Structure 1
């Protein structure tokens, strides 16, 4: 891989290749897409990849790489798809040792970040989500399909294999409008940063099978493009935010096996989800679950003491009316007798 000044696409996916990757890539690297997923590569990602300034896609999923999160790749100005899933990556998302000296972890062009099924740990840093600018705003002058024009005039369409809406699929045309984050099956803990609500272009978010805690951020209600949300098998508590009911494009939802409580939001969108979306939360109630809630919107029953006091008042009014009528009858009879005597 030393001289890659002419090579633009490297696709070696799903073979039985073993060993480590060479770390001697020279300046002038022309690679735009690297897909070596589904092999048996190990070791670290070669740092000399930093020479590939045109790299848009890196898919190394399904290997045996053992490395830390590659913050250094944020120096690749065109990187849009980063797939690290199913390897042996460890450590935090933003390694404090790397951040010393003004280094950043700012992936300004990243649209697909798949880090599922590794050993990443620590909390999800608020600052990292704030730097995903391409998940916040869309450029008006970009093509919708990620592709490469060969020198023979042929077109190569970039691909990536991701889990989307609960299904494992290879996307043959990576649309630039497709925005995904998959952090599932790791060891992240702590709360989800509220800044994730700024990623308004997100279509899919999977943070299942971690140790995340706290409540589900109400800021999720701002993710109007969200189609798939999986927060299952964590330790979330509190109620399901009513704001989620306003996500009109949400077609896949999994909140199962947490510690959520209260009424499931009542909306047309939520009525399309099955019991499986909410299993394992013993404190939840309301449709589609069979457990019913105490409806706070029903008229509140009067306490017994209040009902009794009302009955006493009614009795007093009735009695006073009877005595007044009786007294008037006596006066009328007495007045009649007095007229007869005269």
Structure 2
């Protein structure tokens, strides 16, 4: 009964009816239910899955430890408070635990690290104290770990690199500092690495290129420095690369041309230099292309071929010169183009007036000249322009 508009409280006798004794799954997520979660849930002895996320439940986590067959407990995105109960450590079959986006306090119970059956653990955005315990590597079946938006205030926890089963690691905005260790290569199954908005420094380790299954790499808003390692080109399955707002420098490695599956490329707000590689014309699935606030120079290459999928292009705040490439007209889905604060010398691009989705066009602080009032060649020029 998830995803409806149910409101009010759950009945206190929800599991005391004889005809519910064989109930295996309760799914009431994404409703407007409120009040306490009734403790009578533990009177459904056959329950394997409880999903109550995205409601307005308050109070404490009920005593459900008698449900010895429980495999999934999803209480995320409510208003639950108090400690995360240590008795969770007695649920010997638990595979999925979601407590994120609540109002819990205190420390993570050490008994939690005894639940070696856990495959997914979500404890993001809850005001816990203390860091990540060293026992976390006991969870040797863990595939997804999300501890984002917590005030961990500690160096990068080396024990995590021992959990070789991890597929997704989310530690965004977790007040982590220190370097990304070279032992990151131990996580050979990793598909998603999210470490944005921390205080990480030092270089991006070259061993990151050994994560051959990686699809999303998010390291934005840290203090990482040095060049982008050439091994980045080994990540042939990469769909998204977020490296913006760091202190990265030097030219783009030629191996970046290997990442032809990219949908998102964000390298903004660094100190990268050199020219924009011509090989970007091979990135046919690219949707977001942001190189702004760097030191790129030379011409904007004519890389926008027929079938261009780009939605947003931001090249502002560089040292680019020459003319705007007319191949931009191939980007029929383009909604935003920002080439401001460069050294572009050209006429006003009336030829862009037929771009059907263009909403934002920024040309400021360049060397455009000529007439602004040529007769339109189309029935409705710039049909969706807003800015």
Give the TM interval when normalised to the shorter protein: 0.5 to 0.7
Asked whether 1:228 is paired with 2:231, we answer no
Match of residue 303 from structure 1: none
1:10 aligns to what SS in structure 2? strand
Contact (CA 8 Å) 1:42, 1:65: kept in 2 or not?
yes
Pair 1:196–1:275, CA change in 2 (3 A): closer
User: Any conservation in 2 of the 1:237–1:258 contact (CA below 8 Å)?
Assistant: yes
Aligned to 2:244: 256
1:192-203 → structure 2 map (5 Å cutoff): 192-203=180-191
Superposed CA deviations along residues 157-206 of structure 1, whole A, max 9, x for unmatched, are xxxxxxxxxxxxxxxxxxxxxx1000001100001122211111111000
- Equivalent in 55, 60, 64 of residue 94 of structure 2: 55
2:48 equivalent to 1:17: no
Query: SS at 2:80's partner residue?
Result: strand
Query: Where does residue 83 of structure 2 map in the other structure?
Result: 44
Superposition RMSD on alpha carbons, in Å? 2.4
Q: Cα distance, 1:133 vs. partner? A: 3.2
Match of 1:134 among 165, 174, 178: 165
The aligned counterpart of 2:24 is none
Aligned to 2:254, the other structure's residue is in SS state: coil
Within 1, Cα distance between the matches of 2:56 and 2:136? 35
Aligned to 2:266: 277
Matching residue within 276, 281, 284 for 1:287: 276
Match of 2:145 among 91, 113, 131: 113
Residue 273 of structure 1 deviates from its aligned partner by 5.9
Distance, in Å, in 2 between the alignment partners of 1:25 and 1:273 is 45
How far off is 1:258 after superposition? Answer: 0.4
Deviations 1:74-107 (A, max 9, x none): 211210000111221232112xxxx6xxx66421
Counterpart-to-counterpart distance in 2, 1:275 and 1:217: 21
1:209 equivalent among 194, 197, 217 = 197
Give the 3 Å change call, closer, same or farther, for CA 246–259 of structure 1 in structure 2: same
Say if 1:79 and 1:4 are closer, same or farther in 2 by CA, change over 3 A: farther
8 Å CA contact retained: 1:126, 1:194: no
Tell me which of 113, 116, 120 is aligned to 1:77: 116
Change (3 A) 1:80 1:52: same
Distance 1:71 1:287, change over 3 A: farther
**Greater helix share, 1 or 2?**
1
Matching residue within 158, 168, 181 for 2:169: 181
Task: Identify unmatched segments of 5+ residues in structure 2.
Answer: 1-38, 278-290, 299-387
Instruction: Please give the alpha-carbon distance, in whole angstroms, between the structure 1 residues aligned to 2:264 and 2:115.
Output: 44
Farther-moved stretch of structure 1 (46-55 vs 57-66): 57-66
1:31, 1:46 → 2: CA distance?
15
5+ residue gaps, structure 1, are: 136-178, 294-342
**1:265 and 1:7, CA in 2 relative to 1: closer, same or farther beyond 3 A?**
same
The answer for the alignment partner of 2:130 in structure 1 is 91
Tell me the secondary structure at the aligned position of residue 260 of structure 1: strand
CA deviation after TM superposition for structure 1 residue 70, in Å: 4.8
CA contact (8 A) 2:58 2:78 kept: yes
Q: TM-score, normalised by structure 2?
A: 0.58
Structure 2 Cα separation of the partners of residues 285 and 203 of structure 1 = 30
Which of 1 and 2 has greater Rg?
1
Distance 2:106 2:207 in 1: 33
Q: TM (normalized to structure 1)?
A: 0.65
Cα offset, 1:271, TM superposition: 6.6
- 2-structure distance, mates of 1:61, 1:6: 25
The structure 1 residue matched to 2:157, chosen from 120, 125, 130, is 125
Tell me, in whole angstroms, the C-alpha distance in 1 between the residues paired with 2:174 and 2:136: 23
SS at match of 1:119: coil
Shift of 1:282: 2.2
Q: How many residues end up aligned between the 2 structures?
A: 241
